[in-house]
Structure 1
Amino acid sequence: MKRKSCLIEAFDAKKVGAEAKNKVYLCGSASEEKMYKNTIWYKSLLDAEKTCLKDDKIKKFHYKFEDGREMVEEYNLDTQVMLRRSWKVKGKLGGEGKWTVEVGDPIPDATPNNDPVIIECKDQPVVTRRNTRINLEWRIRNMPYPIETYSIKANDDEKCVVVSTTNKKYFKKLYIPELVRLGLPVEQANVYSTHNFNTLVVVYKKPQQLLDMEKEWFVELQKVKPIKDIPSDCKTQ
C-alpha cells in the first residue's frame, strides 16, 4: 500500500510544488550511470501490464499500473521518439475517468459545446507539449510580444520553468514531470527559447540520465509484441 501512495504522488505533476524536493524517488542503491533504474518511475514501468498496437510507423503502448491508473504512449519507429503520452485517472466516484495529455497535441473533445459563455477566446495563449530526441519543448501560441518581453526562469524548488512577461500580461509555470520522476534538478543552463510567428517556444535540454533512460526503455518496449498489426490504409474511427 505504501508503494502505491508513492506511485500516485510521483505521477501527479500538479503536486510537484515546493514539497517535491523532499520526496524520495529512489528505492535502494544504484550506480550513478544508471540511477534511473532504481527510481519508482522506472520500476513502475517494468511492473505495469503492457499491451501494444502497431499502426504503420507508429507503435502505441498501453500501460496499466498497480494504482489503477492507465497510460498510453505513442512512438515513431523511425526516430524512436515518443510523440504522445496520455493518462487516464478514474473518477472520484468510481466512474469512467477522462484522458489527459501530458505530451503531444490535446485530444479533441467529441462532446459538442453549445454554450457561448464558456467558449475560450481564440486569442488566448495555448500551451502544447512536445518531445524530441534531445529536448523537452513547450509551444505557446498567441504570444505576440517581442522576445525581449519574456522572462524564462528555472525553478528547482517547484520543479518547473516559469514564463512571465515584463508587461505582466502572461504568467505560466511549466512543470517537468520527467525530471521529478528521476529526482533530477531543474537547471537554468538547460533552458532556452525562441519566438516566431506569435509562438514562444520554450526548450529544456534533456539531462544525460533522461536520455539514457529513454534510449534503454525504447529497447525494453520492443519485447512487447503487438497484439494486432493495423493496415496502413485502415483508418481508425
Structure 2
Amino acid sequence: MMPESWLNNIQNAKITVLIQDGKRKVHFLFENGKEMVEEYNMDTNVVVRRMWKKKNSFGTDQGWIVEIGDPEPKENNIEKDGIQESSNTPFVTQRITKTSLEWRIRNLPYASNVYSVTAEKDNTITVRTSNKKYFKKLRALDLERIGLKPEQERISFKHQYNTLIIMYKKPPELLDAERKILSKILQIKATESANQCPVS
C-alpha cells in the first residue's frame, strides 16, 4: 500500500497550473516551503521535466535543480576557473514514460557485454562494468517517495550509440500514485498567461 506522506504533501501543496509552449506546467509550493515544478506532455500526461528550487543553508535561492529531463546547459567556466569539464565525461539524465522509469548514461563507449545493472540492498540501482571503467549508483526517487525498493526483475537495459539506457518497469503502486497526482492536477483550472508562471 502506498504511504500517505508523499500523496499528502501533494494534496496539501499550493498548486498553480499553466499551459505554455504546448505543455502543462505545474508549480507546487509545499507546506515545508520547498518548491517543485513539473512539465507534462499535453497528449500523454507524462512528466517530461521535473525541477526543484535549490536553497543554501541561509535560505537564499540558488536556482533550479533538474531531476527529470535534460539538465540546464552548464556555463563554461574555463575563463573564470581555468578548468573545463571534459565533454567526454559520462553523465546521467532521467526520463519517465507511461510504463517505465528510464536513465540514460551518455559517453559510455565500452562494449555492450561489459555492463551489469542490479537492484541493491541500499535501495539503489547500481551500474558496473566488468572492465572496472565505470561504477554508478542511481536513486529511483519516484520509488523512494512511495516507500518502494527497486526489484531486479523490473530492470532491463540496452547499449547503443555510446549510451546505456536503463529501463525500470513501473510497479502498480507507482502507476496508482501517478494517477492520483494527475487527477489532482487536472482538477485545477489552468491559466494560459505566461506572466503567471513561477518559472520560465
Q: Same fold per TM (> 0.5)?
A: yes
2:4 corresponds, among 26, 31, 39, to 39
Asked whether the 8 Å contact 2:102–2:165 carries over to 1, the reply is yes
Residue 11 of structure 2 aligns to a residue whose secondary structure is: helix
- C-alpha deviations, 1:180-224, integer Å up to 9, x for none? 111112110000101111110011111011012212321220112
Residue 205 (structure 1) aligns with: 169
Report the AA paired with residue 182 of structure 1: I
Residue 60 of structure 1 aligns to a residue whose secondary structure is: strand
Residue 90 (structure 2) aligns with: 125
Q: Please, what TM-score do these two structures have when normalized by structure 2? A: 0.91
Aligned equivalents of 1:117, 1:150: Cα separation in 2: 34
Unaligned runs of 5+ in 1: 1-34, 231-235
Aligned equivalents of 2:147, 2:81: Cα separation in 1: 43
Asked whether the 8 Å contact 1:39–1:181 carries over to 2, the reply is no
Residue 156 (structure 2) aligns with: 192
Residue 118 of structure 1 aligns to a residue whose secondary structure is: coil
What is the deviation of 1:115? 3.8
The within-5 A match list for 1:1-237 is: 35-36=1-2, 38-109=3-74, 111=75, 113=77, 114-115=79-80, 117-155=82-120, 157-230=121-194
- C-alpha deviations, 1:152-198, integer Å up to 9, x for none? 1101x322100011111101001011111111121100001011111
Q: Which has the higher strand share?
A: 2
Aligned equivalents of 1:171, 1:186: Cα separation in 2: 18
Report the AA paired with residue 79 of structure 1: T
What is the deviation of 1:94? 2.2
Q: Give the fraction of aligned pairs with identical amino acids, expressed as a percent.
A: 43
Does the C-alpha gap of structure 1 residues 158 and 52 become closer, same or farther in structure 2, counting only changes over 3 Å?
same
Report the AA paired with residue 155 of structure 2: V
Aligned equivalents of 2:59, 2:175: Cα separation in 1: 37
Report the AA paired with residue 137 of structure 2: K
Asked whether the 8 Å contact 2:47–2:96 carries over to 1, the reply is yes
Residue 61 of structure 2 aligns to a residue whose secondary structure is: coil
Give runs of ≥4 in structure 1 deviating > 6 Å.
Answer: none
What is the deviation of 1:43? 0.4
Aligned equivalents of 2:149, 2:60: Cα separation in 1: 36
- C-alpha deviations, 1:88-127, integer Å up to 9, x for none? 1321122123311111110224x55224643111111111
Aligned equivalents of 2:50, 2:60: Cα separation in 1: 22
Asked whether the 8 Å contact 2:124–2:139 carries over to 1, the reply is yes
Aligned equivalents of 1:54, 1:160: Cα separation in 2: 35
Q: How many residues align?
A: 195
Segment drifting more, 217-226 vs 58-67: 217-226
Aligned equivalents of 2:54, 2:80: Cα separation in 1: 26
Aligned equivalents of 2:146, 2:191: Cα separation in 1: 30
Aligned equivalents of 1:206, 1:160: Cα separation in 2: 15
Q: Which has the higher helix share?
A: 1
Q: Please, what TM-score do these two structures have when normalized by structure 1? A: 0.77
Asked whether the 8 Å contact 2:53–2:61 carries over to 1, the reply is no
